[in-house]
Structure 1
Amino acid sequence: MPSDQGRWPVREGPIDCAYSDDGVRVVLDGSPRTVRAALAVTLGALAPLRLSRDTIQSLELVLAEVMNNIVEHAYADVPSGRIELRVDLRNGALSCQTLDDGAPLPRGLVPDPPRPEPADAPQGGFGWLLIKSLVSDLDYVRAGRRNRLRFRLPVVQAA
């Protein structure tokens, strides 16, 4: 990623990006198609960090779950909304943050669903269990009309 001025912006359709030497900021329209494109842009921007395949796959999985939850639930009653994503490498982990102006999480808390028995498991509904199993320091705050979700993902550098 170029570092001539620390950050440089890129506009790719409904996605705005700002890259730096240690991370990326992506602002996107909240739609399933744009979430997929934003994931590709984000992972591409982080390629120079030489993250391991496991780290990249975990990051992609978590970000897809988080941003699709925003689209499906926070913006369920509105035609479209904006999502801001920041991912920065800090102290051996990826510090991630999403911001949106959608509906708050129920009870103002990250869901804590029980782990279902495999035989009784419904299809779907495992997103928060998956997220919680892969990240640390998961934190949600509703500030005014804005949702902020932060978490850290341990990093393994590629060989």
Structure 2
Amino acid sequence: MAFRSGTDARAPDAACEALSLDIVATPQGVRAALARAAGMLSRADLCPTVQGCIELVLAEALNNVVEHAYSTSEGGRIAVRLDPRGETMLLELRDNGRPMPDLTLPEGQLRPLVGSGDLPEGGFGWYLIRRLAVRVTYRREAGTNVLQIEMPLGRQSKGI
């Protein structure tokens, strides 16, 4: 799975170079990728809140790939790229697992809570991703899932 540089890509900030990882689609692989990403983001000297939001969104996206795209297969791989682009950080994940249902991103709507003991298992990840990102896109090309999440690095953050 190779990354193609888009024609609209701006040069990475000198303090923060792009990071590309090829990880095994397991919880251990996700943890290792998150540790590497955290190191890269720390070197970028980002606001701790911005760094935390990027790490949270990346963790949610990677865990979704492991849990849903590769839930019935072993040995899957995920190509991960973090690419600073001016005021945003592009997170791109590519995998050859199962496609999203109907080739469509989940809406990311919160489910209503009925009572204090009725917290649903899951269902918050896509809400967080959509709420914290500037833009989220998904496509399937030649048997590969391509998820792109554009995260704000500064003033354009929407917050939770």
Q: Which interval holds the TM-score relative to the shorter structure?
A: 0.7 to 0.9
Measured in 1, the distance between the counterparts of 2:110 and 2:20 equals: 33
Matched with 1:8 is: none
Given that residues 86 and 98 in structure 1 are in contact (C-alpha distance below 8 angstroms), is that contact kept between their aligned partners in structure 2? yes
Matched with 1:39 is: 34
RMSD of equivalent CA atoms: 1.7
Given that residues 59 and 153 in structure 1 are in contact (C-alpha distance below 8 angstroms), is that contact kept between their aligned partners in structure 2? yes
Matched with 1:87 is: 82
Structure 2 counterpart of 1:116, from 81, 91, 111: 111
Matched with 1:74 is: 69
Q: Deviations along 1:70-97, whole A, 9 cap, x unmatched?
A: 0011001111200011111112111110
Measured in 2, the distance between the counterparts of 1:134 and 1:86 equals: 18
Deviation of residue 102 (structure 1)?
0.3
Structure 1 counterpart of 2:152, from 144, 147, 154: 154
Q: In the alignment, is residue 58 of structure 1 matched against residue 58 of structure 2?
A: no
Measured in 1, the distance between the counterparts of 2:23 and 2:72 equals: 18
Deviation of residue 121 (structure 1)?
4.2
Q: Deviations along 1:12-57, whole A, 9 cap, x unmatched?
A: xxxxxxxx95221111011001101110011102322111101111
The aligned amino acid for 2:44 is: L
Aligned length: 138
The aligned amino acid for 1:28 is: I
Greater percentage in strand:
1
Measured in 2, the distance between the counterparts of 1:113 and 1:28 equals: 26
Where structure 1 has 5 or more consecutive residues not aligned to the other structure, the ranges are 1-19
Identity of aligned residues (%): 36
Structure 2 counterpart of 1:131, from 129, 132, 137: 129
Measured in 2, the distance between the counterparts of 1:88 and 1:123 equals: 32
Measured in 2, the distance between the counterparts of 1:66 and 1:128 equals: 8
